[in-house]
Structure 1
Amino acid sequence: TYKLISTADAVGIFQMESGGMRKLLTRIKPSSFEDLIAVLALFRPGPLDSGMVEEFIKRRDGREAVRYPDPALEPILSETYGVIVYQEQVMQIAQVYAGYSLGDADLLRRAMGKKKAEAMAREKKTFIEGAVGKGHPQAKAEEIFQQMETFAAYGFNKSHSAAYALLSFQTAYLKAHYTKEFMAALLTMEMGDTDKVYKNLADCRQHGIGVLPPDVNSSAADFTVCEEGIRFGLGAVKGAGDKAVDAIVEARAEGPYTSLADFSLRAGSTQVNRRIMESFIKAGAFDSICHSRRRLLEGLDGALAWAARVGKDKVAGQFGLFSEGAGESEPEPSLPDVDPWDDATRLTAEHDVVGFYISGHPLDRYQDDLQLLGTLTMPEVESRRDQEMVALAGVTNTVRLKNSKKGDRYATFNLEDRDGVIEVITWPKTFLECEEAVVGREPVYVYGRLEFGEQRGGPAVAGDEGGFIMKPQIIAEKVVPLTQARCERAGRVDFLVRRGDLSVDALPRLRDILLRHPGGCRPYLLVRRPGESETEIELPKSLLIAPTDSFLADVEKILGPGNTRLRAAVVTPHPQGENAVG
């Protein structure tokens, strides 16, 4: 459990999910419950801004000697390495060092928290007199009171921090020892918050937990654990209410659904209508029955019509011999023999009805391009500075067209990658240049300025009720299709060949492909001989190419997958630390 916490594997862990808290966890590396209490008390604006946290960490790590204002205070401050962290410590110091009663010590704590000058002057006088009366030097008493006054302004109630720490430990324990069950419960609980669902899905991938589409034969209403990982609940599909899910699960108790027609007959009703069934098909909930979602969708009307006729015949007492045991009056209709959807169509339909990509992502086939372009992922954006120039890639969603005060058209949209979503604004001049890319469904490259704005949220830190969280957005300077960004960024292309592996006509065919795709990218042939070094051959300038999708697909047919490598052109680096496109 503590290993999970100290490595900041904190998604879903109470009070420990923010980026700042996770950084603090990796520095302090909690190894005990007392450490957890201290971390939650320290992670607040006061201690962070005052340098108290740095002092605590240095002393804990042994990089700075632990010092106490007075040897008499060591029993009180030893657990926090001589740093006053908790309000209770202020009260204990007043009691032990200056002879306060517990009631008077609490009044001192309150006065320090409110910072009222008159009250503080009275308390200072009382404290010094009490300390001197117990035999302590007046100068030392004044010094200690000053420290108490400084740290009390930031001190946190230890009992509150301990209550938070208990919940933090419990959630961390569950995640460490029952990871799949914990993540399934977390996904179910936070299903209504899109940003949190992306974060949780990304964390599942980080832990090697597969998240599978809903399934009419195995899903419940919520996310559930299965042998392969975690399965989406039927209730996650848009339009599927509790009554529809209950009807499906109840009918399934008689046995698994064997076909679309069987489902239509047994579960089809006013609760499970055509619209809901279409959404289930698009979400992949019938994949265990038939892998082609297009066949299922195009055969849906036939299956429903068949179910209506057979159901009517059953009511009328007419039975046939076409189905063993069931006695349907006519055989089930076959699904149309049509080609399956391509990946893009399947994923788009999936996203439309679930709100997320489950079986894949449009960026999956562009991983090499993302590396070439040096784009950030959505979680990485959170660690960047306000006003920094950044490059990202993703799919555009929720495009909103608006007019400025001058009447010029601009747009806002959500940019989505595998790990999250960020809002992007394209002001009129930029939108005029990128409208086609913004409203399209192909992945895009976005380069722009990062801005963090305040958004009202839940507790930002322990004890800060109703705090603000910083919500990032991008003011775009450029939005282009990802394939275009690849062509602009690539300066050379390497073809990896192994001597003896190619057919006689392979190189002439490769030359023909190069001639069919002229551009500005210089091609190189890298010939590898078994047991020998690699030979690099620069091809003529007459064979400069454009690394389009069709070009890469044509080359792969000859050289095979993984044998074409694009390299970036040498340009001036932009502030992100990578190279901007265009």
Structure 2
Amino acid sequence: EHVAQIITFGTIKARNAVRDAARVLGHPYAMGDRLAKAMPPLVMGRDTPLKYCLELNDKYADGYRAAQELRDLYESDDEIRHVVDVAKGLEGLKRSVGIHAAAVVISKNPLTDYLPLQRRPETGKSLEAGQITTQFDMHGVEELGLLKMDFLGLRNLDVITDANSLIQIDHPDFDVDKISFDDQATFELLARGDTMGVFQLESAPMQQLLRAMAPTSFEDVSAVIALYRPGPMSVNMHNDFADRKNGRKKVVYFHPDAEEVLGDTYGLMIYQESVMRVAQRFAGYTLAEADNLRKACGKKERALMEKERSKFELGCETSGYGSELGKQLFDIIENFADYAFNKSHSFGYGHICYQTAFLKANYPMQYFAALLTSVKDNLEKAAGYLVDARNSGITLGPPNINVSEVDFTPLVTERVIYFGLSAIKGIGQAICERIVSERAMNGPFGSFHDFAMRVPADCLNKKSIESFIKAGAFDGLGHPRQGLMAIYESIISDSLARRSDADQGVMSLFDVFDSEQGAKVNLDIPIPDMEFEKSVKLKFEKEVLGLYISDHPLFGLEGMLRKHATSTTSGLEDLDSGAIVTLAGIITKVERKVTKKGSALAIIQLEDLYGSVELTVFSKTLLTHGHKIIEDGLVAVKCRYERNEDRISIQSLEFTPLTISHRQEELRLNLPAVALDPETVARLKGILSSYPGSSYVFLHIGDAKILKLGEEFLVDIDRVIPPLRVAFGASVIM
């Protein structure tokens, strides 16, 4: 009665509005698509309204300049003008409802005294089981004077807690909340961009920024969080910060006194608090006045801004800095305040970020186990973590009925993480807990027959046992998967019958013989010595685990894939809509269709070592490249990545079949110049010298310099790559 989540309203954005208007008015899809693509790109993460694509507004000036094509179409074609005019009426209308990711309203009296509530129906559940939400959005809730709190739930907090528990098995006194914030191993990990699985730092551009910045303090980590946002990046502030920090650029202040308030951020206003401190120091603002200035800049209301400008310039004059500096400074603040980040928010996120980086740097086994457990319900997304773990010298073992726990299990001394039993599809948590409990009480299982005799009967259902077999959970008992799949039902039936007889006190002739002679007669049904072909085993693993574990069709081909691809499947989310990108991998599924208009169409699933994506192949591409689209074929695919609000589509443009070649004449390494200190160089030399071979090494230093190392550093590529990745991160290999 007193607590509810807050509703959100999804509105029709400009692109969807023109598509909808064109469709409703009976025009071909191509017209709506053409208009949508003529819309300006997102500016600092925001859409430009249709109205301000057609008429200049200071707030949307960048969008207006990018919308020239749309204006030309609007002026030259009456049908398009009509579509756009109708779309302007649709834009902003509420299309859908959702629940705010964090906001909760709390009241002393029942909420129904203040506002209407509703239940949000969920698929497969009754209306009464739906979540209770307000019918007013957060702004309406605030205007009523009710208490609105934001509670943000993060998967990473579970990862940290689980990793902490795993570490305490071997280190009982460890407490992640008491770690040092000047840990050298952590900063080395961040400086080499080895941040897959680290909170907020996983994307490729973020890793690139980390390598350029080379963080050396917690404050640097916090700054990264604040800088990696559309606003600061649009004015190159993130690179300026990195260059100033590392001495590649001189630190410049707009006034000598600014060093007092901006010294810790190298003269840049990257936090909202920076803007407020400048206003206090130079214009004599109180904290409340400085906060009002921040809000006014964010809203960009002309009348309010003019009022604040006059006040600010007068304040600078009164403080002795002069109105001219006040004018220049307000221009800077007006631009920065719109995207400056809250420092407390950044430090809070930075704290979680640092903890996850610390755990990965110092306790990688436990951290990867916790990380994989956190995504066990959708392990298709964990392929990147698996690759990263392997690059760190960690092996992911298949589920093992005698070793695996309910969740992923690290064996630290062996550097192996065993798949958690509960992560196998088709097996419930309760069944896994019962099996692990039986094993803990009475010891490891000696065979599948022993397993069938000991675990509770409801753990022996067909679906669960087949999933265990397909996943390889009984491999450690010495049973071939195909043989066990052929006979397991008979073994279970026999075991249940013998258990029933034993419960009733019934003894067989052989039981009597055993007790009298002291010798045991083996009544176990033999398991045929048959095994699936490798391709079938891998197919079953992918089916029940979501991943290839014992092997992967692309293992050993990493270099070839990197050579042909400009992005991995996991890196697509970092791209701008409309980007042209090349992916390389294996085609795992092909579905050919015919559209309503009779055109040929294909939907294919392309998989690389980092995941899989669905690609659409239209008739024009099929005509010239259709013969190259073959299941299990290795290809490089040039495609267009489109993101429209919540929908993502990838259109294939060109296919290039790849030929497997195991011959690699050279090894190319990529290290930023800032990372080449004497200690790093010595470590690199040591690793290269330890794995002599016949391949030359080329060292790429930043973007401008390439060094070919001498013959004393000829290496065995296959053996040297793993230790190089462990020492310098996966991105060191080009």
What TM-score do the two structures reach when normalised by structure 2? 0.59
Alpha-carbon distance in structure 2 between the residues aligned to 1:371 and 1:143: 48
Q: Displacement, 1:324?
A: 8.8
User: Would the aligned equivalents of 2:191 and 2:213 in 1 still touch at CA under 8 Å?
Assistant: yes
User: Would the aligned equivalents of 1:424 and 1:476 in 2 still touch at CA under 8 Å?
Assistant: no
Alpha-carbon distance in structure 2 between the residues aligned to 1:136 and 1:23: 40
Cα distance change of structure 1 residues 346 and 2 upon mapping to structure 2, 3 Å threshold: same
SS of the equivalent of 1:16 reads coil
Aligned pairs (5 A) from 1:135-214? 135-214=320-399
Which piece of structure 1 moves more, 32-41 or 384-393? Answer: 384-393
Deviation per CA, 1:514-561: give whole Å up to 9, x if none. xxxxxxxxxxxxxxxxxxxxxxxxxxxxxxxxxxxxxxxxxxxxxxxx
Q: Displacement, 1:479?
A: 7.5
Cα distance change of structure 1 residues 20 and 297 upon mapping to structure 2, 3 Å threshold: same
The reply to whether residue 335 of structure 1 matches residue 527 of structure 2 is: yes
Cα distance change of structure 1 residues 47 and 343 upon mapping to structure 2, 3 Å threshold: same
The reply to whether residue 297 of structure 1 matches residue 485 of structure 2 is: yes
The reply to whether residue 36 of structure 1 matches residue 224 of structure 2 is: no
The reply to whether residue 111 of structure 1 matches residue 296 of structure 2 is: yes
Q: Displacement, 1:347?
A: 0.9
Corresponding residue number in structure 2 for 1:88: 273
* Letter aligned with residue 474 of structure 2: F
The reply to whether residue 240 of structure 1 matches residue 240 of structure 2 is: no
Aligned pairs (5 A) from 1:220-235? 220-226=405-411, 227-235=414-422
Cα distance change of structure 1 residues 81 and 364 upon mapping to structure 2, 3 Å threshold: closer
* Letter aligned with residue 545 of structure 2: V
> How many residues end up aligned between the 2 structures?
473
More helix by share: 2
Aligned pairs (5 A) from 1:369-380? 377-379=568-570
Cα distance change of structure 1 residues 476 and 360 upon mapping to structure 2, 3 Å threshold: farther
Corresponding residue number in structure 2 for 1:449: 639
SS of the equivalent of 1:295 reads helix
Cα distance change of structure 1 residues 202 and 321 upon mapping to structure 2, 3 Å threshold: farther
Alpha-carbon distance in structure 1 between the residues aligned to 2:196 and 2:565: 26
Cα distance change of structure 1 residues 204 and 93 upon mapping to structure 2, 3 Å threshold: same
Alpha-carbon distance in structure 1 between the residues aligned to 2:566 and 2:241: 36
Alpha-carbon distance in structure 2 between the residues aligned to 1:3 and 1:365: 28
Alpha-carbon distance in structure 1 between the residues aligned to 2:277 and 2:623: 66
The reply to whether residue 352 of structure 1 matches residue 543 of structure 2 is: yes
The reply to whether residue 315 of structure 1 matches residue 492 of structure 2 is: no
Corresponding residue number in structure 2 for 1:558: none
Corresponding residue number in structure 2 for 1:262: 450
Alpha-carbon distance in structure 1 between the residues aligned to 2:519 and 2:502: 9
Aligned pairs (5 A) from 1:508-519? none
Q: Displacement, 1:419?
A: 2.4
Deviation per CA, 1:75-105: give whole Å up to 9, x if none. 1011111112111122112222122221111
Q: Displacement, 1:239?
A: 1.0
Alpha-carbon distance in structure 2 between the residues aligned to 1:33 and 1:374: 35
User: Would the aligned equivalents of 2:615 and 2:649 in 1 still touch at CA under 8 Å?
Assistant: no
Alpha-carbon distance in structure 2 between the residues aligned to 1:381 and 1:105: 40
SS of the equivalent of 1:225 reads strand
Cα distance change of structure 1 residues 332 and 228 upon mapping to structure 2, 3 Å threshold: farther
Which piece of structure 1 moves more, 400-409 or 288-297? Answer: 400-409
Corresponding residue number in structure 1 for 2:604: 413
Q: Displacement, 1:248?
A: 1.6
Deviation per CA, 1:256-293: give whole Å up to 9, x if none. 11111111222262342122112111110001112521
Q: Displacement, 1:439?
A: 7.1
Cα distance change of structure 1 residues 286 and 145 upon mapping to structure 2, 3 Å threshold: same
Q: 2:652 aligns with which of 475, 480, 486?
A: 475
Q: Displacement, 1:415?
A: 1.4
Q: 2:245 aligns with which of 30, 37, 60?
A: 60
Q: Displacement, 1:449?
A: 2.0
SS of the equivalent of 2:376 reads coil
* Letter aligned with residue 300 of structure 1: Y
SS of the equivalent of 1:358 reads coil
Alpha-carbon distance in structure 2 between the residues aligned to 1:159 and 1:305: 62
Which piece of structure 1 moves more, 175-184 or 297-306? Answer: 297-306
* Letter aligned with residue 529 of structure 2: D
Gap regions ≥5 residues in structure 1: 457-467, 495-561, 563-582
* Letter aligned with residue 601 of structure 2: Y
Alpha-carbon distance in structure 2 between the residues aligned to 1:370 and 1:149: 46
User: Would the aligned equivalents of 2:422 and 2:428 in 1 still touch at CA under 8 Å?
Assistant: yes
Alpha-carbon distance in structure 2 between the residues aligned to 1:349 and 1:213: 12
Of all paired residues, the percent bearing the same amino acid is 35
User: Would the aligned equivalents of 2:538 and 2:552 in 1 still touch at CA under 8 Å?
Assistant: yes
What TM-score do the two structures reach when normalised by structure 1? 0.73
Alpha-carbon distance in structure 2 between the residues aligned to 1:324 and 1:403: 71
Gap regions ≥5 residues in structure 2: 1-185, 665-716, 718-734
Q: Displacement, 1:138?
A: 2.5
Q: Displacement, 1:188?
A: 0.8
Deviation per CA, 1:432-471: give whole Å up to 9, x if none. 888898674x343243324242463xxxxxxxxxxx9xx5
SS of the equivalent of 2:475 reads coil
SS of the equivalent of 2:641 reads strand
Cα distance change of structure 1 residues 376 and 67 upon mapping to structure 2, 3 Å threshold: closer
Q: Displacement, 1:22?
A: 1.5
SS of the equivalent of 1:405 reads coil
The reply to whether residue 363 of structure 1 matches residue 550 of structure 2 is: no
SS of the equivalent of 2:615 reads strand
Cα distance change of structure 1 residues 321 and 6 upon mapping to structure 2, 3 Å threshold: farther
Deviation per CA, 1:77-135: give whole Å up to 9, x if none. 11111112111122112222122221111111211121122112122222222222222
Alpha-carbon distance in structure 2 between the residues aligned to 1:168 and 1:358: 29
User: Would the aligned equivalents of 1:375 and 1:393 in 2 still touch at CA under 8 Å?
Assistant: no
Cα distance change of structure 1 residues 369 and 63 upon mapping to structure 2, 3 Å threshold: closer
Alpha-carbon distance in structure 1 between the residues aligned to 2:243 and 2:556: 46
Alpha-carbon distance in structure 1 between the residues aligned to 2:258 and 2:628: 66
Q: Displacement, 1:209?
A: 0.7
Q: Displacement, 1:405?
A: 2.5
Deviation per CA, 1:200-228: give whole Å up to 9, x if none. 11111111110111111121221111234
* Letter aligned with residue 354 of structure 2: F
Alpha-carbon distance in structure 1 between the residues aligned to 2:378 and 2:535: 25
Alpha-carbon distance in structure 2 between the residues aligned to 1:61 and 1:151: 23
User: Would the aligned equivalents of 1:362 and 1:395 in 2 still touch at CA under 8 Å?
Assistant: no
SS of the equivalent of 2:638 reads strand
User: Would the aligned equivalents of 2:400 and 2:474 in 1 still touch at CA under 8 Å?
Assistant: yes
Which piece of structure 1 moves more, 36-45 or 149-158? Answer: 149-158
User: Would the aligned equivalents of 2:204 and 2:571 in 1 still touch at CA under 8 Å?
Assistant: no
Aligned pairs (5 A) from 1:380-419? 387-388=579-580, 390=582, 392-397=584-589, 399-419=590-610
Cα distance change of structure 1 residues 416 and 133 upon mapping to structure 2, 3 Å threshold: same
Deviation per CA, 1:376-423: give whole Å up to 9, x if none. 7545767888553635221414x5554312134533232122222122
Corresponding residue number in structure 1 for 2:312: 127
Query: RMSD in angstroms over aligned alpha carbons?
Result: 3.3
User: Would the aligned equivalents of 1:234 and 1:245 in 2 still touch at CA under 8 Å?
Assistant: yes
Q: Displacement, 1:313?
A: 2.1
* Letter aligned with residue 544 of structure 2: V
Alpha-carbon distance in structure 1 between the residues aligned to 2:455 and 2:210: 50
Cα distance change of structure 1 residues 327 and 168 upon mapping to structure 2, 3 Å threshold: farther
Which piece of structure 1 moves more, 118-127 or 165-174? Answer: 118-127
Cα distance change of structure 1 residues 155 and 275 upon mapping to structure 2, 3 Å threshold: closer
Q: Displacement, 1:303?
A: 1.3
